[in-house]
Amino acid sequence: MKKLSKLFVALMVCVLAVGGLFSMAACGGGETEKDTIAVMAKGETHAFWVSVKRGAERAGEEMGYRITFRGPTDESSASVPEQVEQVTSALADSRTAAMVLATIGEGFSSLLQSAADQNIPIVEFDSGIYNKEELPDPSPVVSSVATSNVLAAALAAENFYVTLKPLIEATPDGSTYKVGIIQHDGSQTGIDRANGFDDKIKELAEADGLTAKLETQIQQADNSAGAYVQCLTTLQTWGAQAIFMCNEGVVKDCYAAVTGTPDLYKDLLFCGFDAGTAQQEWIKDEGENYAHLVGSVAQDSYQIGYQAVMQAAKYLKGEEITE
């Protein structure tokens, strides 16, 4: 296979202030000092969350706050009860002054109300509060820190398109160059990444007069074992010639598939999202013997953790939090 250029793209985070909706939490006094910012993540062991934790702890050190960091075993809906217990425990801790929160599913409405009742401000981060389930009034949410999944996926599409454009142009009239998208789940994150990529690559093809030669298909996975590989198989059977993978879990499973059965997938081109260990190893390969990973778009996970805690700490100190 012809060696293709590799690309790495780093994204900064977007910080949105929701100021004026919630009164500032007390930052000291009483029998127990409120000196803790509880970071409630969607996981703990994945490289993404390890980096988020480092950023959060660094911000805590700079701002003089103790940081606790907890997340469920995995990011599936089956772990919602575990995360609910973790959030409940953090809210019950008399030292908790603020919370940085990203939920993996629904079922947190009563806890959000509890945060409001206790005057504990919340900073949403990463994908934030799942589906924005009903918030109390006034809302405890004072700020949001996240990467725009739509824009990040569009950025991946722009870079991937540089490689794909000549291949699309070379496609005979009456035929189409098929690009598949593996959406990791039905969450807003998954939807935004899949649609962000799909919309952008179609926009680019239209600008070049190549709409008739491009066809895309989105395959949404569920949380079952082997779902990502099933999506890959479906797209390969459909005739996909290039595939965008919407998160590191998809990349990991696809990498195992294309290296395990190289002849089946060797003519495919791939692009990923989130640069975990498997993705880093894949992108370093020359791709001579199996499918090639052209590149990846990666979030600045350290900054997500750092900025989220900074927003919470500044709010507690009465400092301005701005976009």
Q: Which residue bears the tokens 């160059």?
A: 177
pLDDT reported for residue 127 = 79
Contacts of 37 (CB under 8 A, 6+ apart): 56, 60, 65, 66, 67, 68, 96, 97, 98, 99, 100, 309, 312, 313, 316
Contacts of 194 (CB under 8 A, 6+ apart): 153, 181, 183, 218, 220, 246
pLDDT reported for residue 13 = 54
pLDDT reported for residue 66 = 98
- With a cut of 70, say whether residue 152 has pLDDT above it: yes
Report strand pairing: 214-220 vs 177-183.
parallel
pTM: 0.74
pLDDT tens digits for 254-298?
A: 999 998 998 899 889 999 998 677 777 887 776 567 788 888 888
Structure tokens at 204: 């680019």
Q: What is the mean pLDDT of the segment spanning 212-217?
A: 98
pLDDT tens digits for 162-211?
A: 999 999 999 999 999 999 999 998 877 889 999 999 999 999 999 999 99
pLDDT tens digits for 35-89?
A: 999 999 999 987 789 999 999 999 999 999 999 999 998 877 789 999 999 999 9
pLDDT reported for residue 288 = 64
pLDDT reported for residue 96 = 98
Report strand pairing: 141-146 vs 14-17.
antiparallel
Sign of CA dihedral 26, 95, 16, 55: positive
pLDDT reported for residue 63 = 97
Residue 39: DSSP 8-state: E
- With a cut of 80, say whether residue 2 has pLDDT above it: no
pLDDT tens digits for 219-240?
A: 999 878 899 999 999 999 999 9
Give me the sheet containing 7-11, strands edge to edge: 7-11, 292-299, 269-273, 242-245, 177-183, 214-220
The alpha carbon torsion through 5, 211, 195, 278 (nearest 10 deg) reads: -20
- With a cut of 70, say whether residue 155 has pLDDT above it: yes
Structure tokens at 218: 């989105």
pLDDT tens digits for 293-302?
A: 888 888 888 9
Burial class (CB in 10 A: 0-12, 13-18, 19+), 144: buried
pLDDT tens digits for 120-147?
A: 999 999 878 887 777 888 899 999 998 8
pLDDT reported for residue 6 = 43
- 238 Cα distance to chain centroid: 27
Report strand pairing: 141-146 vs 122-125.
parallel
- With a cut of 50, say whether residue 26 has pLDDT above it: no
Query: How far apart are alpha carbons 231 and 219 in whole angstroms?
Result: 6
pLDDT reported for residue 17 = 59
Contacts of 120 (CB under 8 A, 6+ apart): 25, 91, 96, 97, 98, 99, 140
pLDDT reported for residue 287 = 59
Query: How far apart are alpha carbons 105 and 311 in whole angstroms?
Result: 24
Query: How far apart are alpha carbons 232 and 204 in whole angstroms?
Result: 24
